[in-house]
Amino acid sequence: MALVVMKFGGSSVADADKIKLVASRVVEKKKAGNKAVVVVSAPGDTTDQLFAMAQNITSNPPDRELDMLLATGEMISISLLSMAINFMGQKAISLTGPQAGIIADTSYTKARIKKVNPKKIKAMLAKDNIVVVAGFQALNAKGDITTLGRGGSDLTAVALAAQVHADFCEIYSDVEGVFTTDPRVVKDARKIEYISYDEMLELAGSGAQVLQSRSVEIAKKFGVEIHSRSTFSQNPGTIITSEENIRRKNMEALLVSGIAFDKNQVKFTIIDLPDIPGIAAKIFSRLAKVGVNVDMIIQSAAVNKKNDISFTVSKQELKKTQIELDKLAQELKASQVICDEHVSKISVVGIGMKSNAGVAGKMFEILHKKGINIEMISTSEIKISCIIDERDLTIALEELHKGFGLSKK
Ligand code: ADP
Ligand code: ASP
Ligand code: MG
């Protein structure tokens, strides 16, 4: 008998038929002799619709009230799913995040889980219940409901799996697992059998939506094995585990395991900044203060004691960034601030890069052959990212996917 956490995303609980299908998969797991904790997201686009409802009232809703609203989406799913499981003859009980003992810090809309008190879940499991928990929501020290950031139900599932000592955590979505790139964009993408936490972390952080990156971080920290699978098929999915586990299975590390992309980027350039110490510190600490997360940064070489700095932020932070940069440009006597909304980031990821120096050169060569201009570059031990014109994204993705031998044979 295993204890399994099963998480179903919004596309899996989008309507009554899908909720019944999810219920049957959960019941199947229970009847096979397992105990199950089930985490669900809000149905379909509910979270987006709730956001839109708030925007219809005000463009700047108080974060506490926004969280109160957003948390309602997941409550629709837990109650309906529990009803469906009960109807199929198994005992099920729904719990909100706070009822399930998920405690977060005091920030709203992007709260971080501080601890999980699984007492109630364990008691319910002991009474032979299937426990259905609302993803994405938690309770803070003020007694308020908070939410964990977009895609946060993955995080709820992994955090619960760690605390109840589940044998593994299954994350069900509308794709059969983690693919070499988004299978909706590149038809030739292949399902990956095993992938290490570190590679998955880089892919998720670079835009591969299939798993939320903080959930992978927590999985790595607590050694939770994640199985990424499809709600709509019985095929085996992808196992996300440690590099050592993968090596033990004699799987050879590929040079590149996957390619991710992010269309949600904006590039800012500040022209003619004074080339003196403290300028970068001033710009980026001011942006941090207003809550802007900066991704890639480059600084040009100085000419006539002046240089330019370019960096990227996510599209949601465009307005905040623009307002702050206009003030900074005046203070620092820069000549201009340019904003380019038509860029995308493309990233190749693989642990094989650790021992092979040729990957960056090969990536640049593949892009060059298609006449694609690279606007910015950043690297980590196992990832190379480039900012390119968004119009070049699809071709870049297809060519890199082919060029690194990831396409179906
Ligand atoms: P859910 O609503 O179930 O949480 P998501 O929409 O968050 O599901 O994640 C699944 C989607 O992730 C897929 O529909 C697919 O388009 C996208 N995706 C992006 N990159 C990848 C990848 N490398 N492998 C699989 N799916 C990916
Ligand atoms: N419903 C939330 C969202 O859409 C959380 C999740 O789906 O994981 O982001
Ligand atoms: Mg998701």
* Amino acid 390: pLDDT: 98
Quickly list DSSP for 248-300.
Answer: HTTPPPPS--EEEEEEEEEEEEEEEEE-STTHHHHHHHHHHHTT-----EEEP
Ligand nearest to the CA of 13: 1
Tens digits of residue pLDDT in 47-61? 999 999 999 999 889
Does ligand 1 have an atom closer than 6 angstroms to the CB of 263?
no
* pLDDT level of residue 274 (50, 70, 90 thresholds): very high
Distances from the Cα of 374 to the Cαs of 243, 343, 344, 345, 377, in angstroms? 31, 10, 11, 10, 7
Closest-CA residue, ligand 1 atom 27, reads 182
- 251 CA distance to ligand 2 centroid (A)? 33
Does ligand 2 have an atom closer than 6 angstroms to the CB of 97?
no
Check pLDDT > 80 for residue 407: yes
- 321 CA distance to ligand 2 centroid (A)? 25
Check pLDDT > 80 for residue 409: no
Cβ neighbours of residue 357 closer than 8 Å, sequence gap 6 or more: none
- Interval 285-314 mean pLDDT: 93
For the chain, report the end-to-end CA distance as a whole number of angstroms: 38
Quickly list DSSP for 11-65.
Answer: GGGSSHHHHHHHHHHHHHHHHTT-EEEEEEPPSTTHHHHHHHHHHHH-SS--HHH
* Residue 110: other Cβ atoms inside 10 A: 17
Percentage of residues of the chain with pLDDT beyond 70:
99
- 280 CA distance to ligand 3 centroid (A)? 35
Q: Could you tell me the pTM of the whole model? A: 0.94
Ligand nearest to the CA of 397: 1
Cβ neighbours of residue 122 closer than 8 Å, sequence gap 6 or more: 164
Q: Which CATH class is domain 3-174?
A: alpha beta
Look over the chain and give the mean of its residue pLDDT values, rounded to a whole number.
96
Q: Is 281 exposed, middle or buried (0-12, 13-18, 19+ CB in 10 A)?
A: exposed
Q: Where are the domains of the chain?
A: 3-174
* Amino acid 356: pLDDT: 85
* pLDDT level of residue 408 (50, 70, 90 thresholds): confident
Q: Which atom of ligand 1 is nearest to the CA of 181?
A: 23
* Amino acid 219: pLDDT: 98
Tens digits of residue pLDDT in 85-117? 999 999 999 999 999 999 999 999 999 999 999
- Residue of 153, 212, 216 best suited for mutating to test ligand 2, as the one with most atoms within 8 Å of CB: 153
DSSP annotation of 351 reads: G
Check pLDDT > 90 for residue 355: no
* Residue 1: other Cβ atoms inside 10 A: 8
Residue 405: left (phi > 0), alpha (psi -120 to 50), or beta?
left
**Phi, psi of 136, rounded to the nearest 5 degrees:** 75, -5
DSSP annotation of 184 reads: T
Q: Which atom of ligand 2 is nearest to the CA of 10?
A: 7
Q: Is 270 exposed, middle or buried (0-12, 13-18, 19+ CB in 10 A)?
A: buried
Tens digits of residue pLDDT in 149-208? 999 999 999 999 999 999 999 999 999 999 999 999 999 999 999 999 999 999 999 999
Does ligand 1 have an atom closer than 6 angstroms to the CB of 9?
yes
* pLDDT level of residue 11 (50, 70, 90 thresholds): very high
* Amino acid 189: pLDDT: 97
Which position has the higher pLDDT, 153 or 249? Answer: 153
Closest-CA residue, ligand 2 atom 8, reads 151
Q: Is 186 exposed, middle or buried (0-12, 13-18, 19+ CB in 10 A)?
A: buried
Decide: 275 and 288 in contact? Cβ < 8 Å.
no
- Interval 206-223 mean pLDDT: 97
Cβ neighbours of residue 277 closer than 8 Å, sequence gap 6 or more: none
Ligand nearest to the CA of 150: 2
Shortest CA distance to 157 belongs to which of 28, 26, 6, 44? 6
Alpha-carbon torsion, ordered 230, 236, 238, 242, to 10 deg: 140
Does ligand 1 have an atom closer than 6 angstroms to the CB of 67?
no
Check pLDDT > 70 for residue 320: yes
Q: Which atom of ligand 1 is nearest to the CA of 174?
A: 14
Check pLDDT > 80 for residue 251: no
- 74 CA distance to ligand 3 centroid (A)? 13
Closest-CA residue, ligand 1 atom 4, reads 9
* Residue 205: other Cβ atoms inside 10 A: 21
Check pLDDT > 80 for residue 253: no
* Amino acid 113: pLDDT: 97
* Amino acid 404: pLDDT: 95
Closest-CA residue, ligand 2 atom 6, reads 151
Percentage of residues of the chain with pLDDT beyond 90:
93
Q: Which atom of ligand 1 is nearest to the CA of 10?
A: 2
Question: Across-strand partners of 104?
Answer: 113
Tens digits of residue pLDDT in 379-394? 999 999 999 999 999 9
Question: Across-strand partners of 240?
Answer: 195, 226
